[in-house]
Amino acid sequence: MAATCIFLPATPNFSHSSRRRTSAAAFAIRSSLTGQSQSPAAAAKRNLLTLIAGQERGLKTQSNPQALSQIIDAIDSLAAAGRGSVTTDESLSDTWRLLWTTEKEQLFIIKNAQIFGTAAGDVLQVIDVEKKTLNNVITFPPDGVFFVRSDIQVASAQRVNFQFETVYIDDEIRVVKDIRKDYLVVERAPYSWKE
């Protein structure tokens, strides 16, 4: 697992995907308005997205143990609904945009970007299963980017040897638990990030 950290004060190449995706937050609102009965996975997903809405990608959750506990319970429910599914196939390959995390290093950068006279933009994971790569990317609009290049290896139906397990994945979101007991909720970005 080689990793390389890079900070580039250059404009990242955002090539927009031809497929349109509804944001995960819009899904939560749409789902709550339909009133139709849902599968356990859809109900657990809606609950999770409702709980993380307004949590500023996890910054507010750091000082709210009750919210953190509720979100982790919701993640566990969604993981139970996704148990036994394959989450390490080609569906994992995409540009994923951060919705919420407990990962302290990412939250530190998001919170303290103003020290460098900027604000954090999208926080991304760019995964290519075929090429066995995972890039963690933090954008700093208008033209900055920090990223870490890494190699991955699929270890099982749900685990990738980059210290994380995707416990749930669908066409809109992915939910991850890692070996440090950190959690990550990401949505498929409406664009593909390229170096």
Prediction pTM value: 0.79
Q: Report the DSSP beta bridge partners of residue 145.
A: 8, 139
Give the pLDDT confidence score for residue 121 in this predicted structure. 95
pLDDT at 23: 54
**Tell me, what's the pLDDT at 161?**
67
Q: Along the chain (195 residues), what's the average pLDDT of each consecutive run of 10 residues? A: 50 40 49 61 96 97 97 96 88 96 95 89 95 92 88 78 82 92 96 89
pLDDT at 91: 92
State the pLDDT at residue 20: 34
From CA 152, how far away is CA 135, in angstroms rounded?
10
Q: Which of 52, 103, 96 is nearest to 74 (CA)?
A: 52
Question: What pLDDT, on a 0 to 100 scale, did the predictor assign at position 151?
Answer: 85
Domains annotated on the chain, with CATH: 3-11+23-194 (2.40.128.50)
Q: Given this model, what pLDDT does residue 84 score?
A: 87
Nearest CA to 173 out of 33, 53, 61, 15 is that of 53
Which pLDDT belongs to residue 73? Answer: 97
Please check whether residue 127 is in contact with residue 166, taking contact to mean a CB–CB distance below 8 angstroms.
no
